[in-house]
Structure 1
Amino acid sequence: MVLPRLFVLIAVLQGCAGPPTEALSPDALTTGSVPEAQPVVSDRLLAQDAPSIVSALAPGSSGKAWQNRETGAHGEIVSAFAANEAGRSCIAFTTTRESFDGVGLYDGKACEDAAGALRLLRLDMR
């Protein structure tokens, strides 16, 4: 009975004590910096979302959600403050935008045009 156990022990130890193989040698590892991911949002998509964003805007409209069923994008007005620019009423705001192409945080400004309608003038990713 001791002989079979001794045989198994010797067989296992020979496998561990054999010469190193290429499979057991450490792999070479090359590292480098990874560029920060930038969400891909085209100006065309932002232009399509503009009416939905503007419809949710009002001074103090923080927490108000917007959705564009056409593009599938949606978001929430994070903050909105009344401002005046060259004698016209404006709203400076921050909004989120979520869609299939990612999530982003945007700073924007919308001002009244000559007819009194609110128009998006700027929407920049933070």
Structure 2
Amino acid sequence: MSRIAQAFDSRQWSLIASASAKAAIVMMAIPLAGCGAGGFSLQKAEVDRSLITSSTPASATPIDSDRASDQTTIRNAVSSADIQELGGQAVPWANSGTGSRGSITELAEFKDKGQLCRRFTASRESFDGVALFKGEACLASAGIWLMQDFKAL
């Protein structure tokens, strides 16, 4: 036999196989021994107070300003509508500043103490949902329309 073949005869192969099996057992036993020796325990676990989390308070300003802007857009659509030509049809409106849109229905004109007013129902579709409003706008002095009433239904 050659010298290389002589180095690994059948007796040495069994020695190598048993050594690798022992090494595998030891490699699996070491992590288990760490857990069994008290390395991790739920009773000893504590809350990590070094982590700080929070949330920001909800701001009512953007929604309120969006609603006010939409209310102004609706008032402008109500004041500029030609009621006789509409014949009961809905008046569409859209506010590019807020992305809201909707339609104005039940638009009726009346006089209140000599002042010209318009009563209406308006729908509003926006990122926060769909809503229905009842409102009333009246013509004030100097030809300016003012919203007298605007309530969500």
TM-score, normalised to structure 1, is 0.61
1:51 counterpart (46, 69, 72): 72
Larger Cα-atom Rg: 2
Query: Which amino acid in the other structure matches residue 149 of structure 2?
Result: R
Partner of 1:69: 96
> CA 1:42 to 1:86, structure 2 compared with 1: closer, same or farther past 3 Å?
farther
Q: Deviations over 1:58-95 (max 9, x none)?
A: 33654110011111111101210002122110000001
Distance 1:121 1:50 in 2: 11
Does 1:89 pair with 2:110?
A: no
- For these two proteins, the number of residue pairs brought into alignment is 87
Aligned-residue CA RMSD (Å): 2.1
Q: How many Å apart are 1:117 and its aligned residue?
A: 1.8
Distance 2:63 2:135 in 1: 16
Larger relative helix fraction: 2
Q: How many Å apart are 1:125 and its aligned residue?
A: 0.8
Larger relative strand fraction: 1
Distance 1:107 1:51 in 2: 14
Percent identity between the two aligned chains: 33
Does 1:102 pair with 2:129?
A: yes
Distance 1:43 1:88 in 2: 29
TM-score, normalised to structure 2, is 0.51
* Structure 1, unpaired ranges of 5+: 1-39
Q: How many Å apart are 1:46 and its aligned residue?
A: 2.2
Does 1:80 pair with 2:80?
A: no
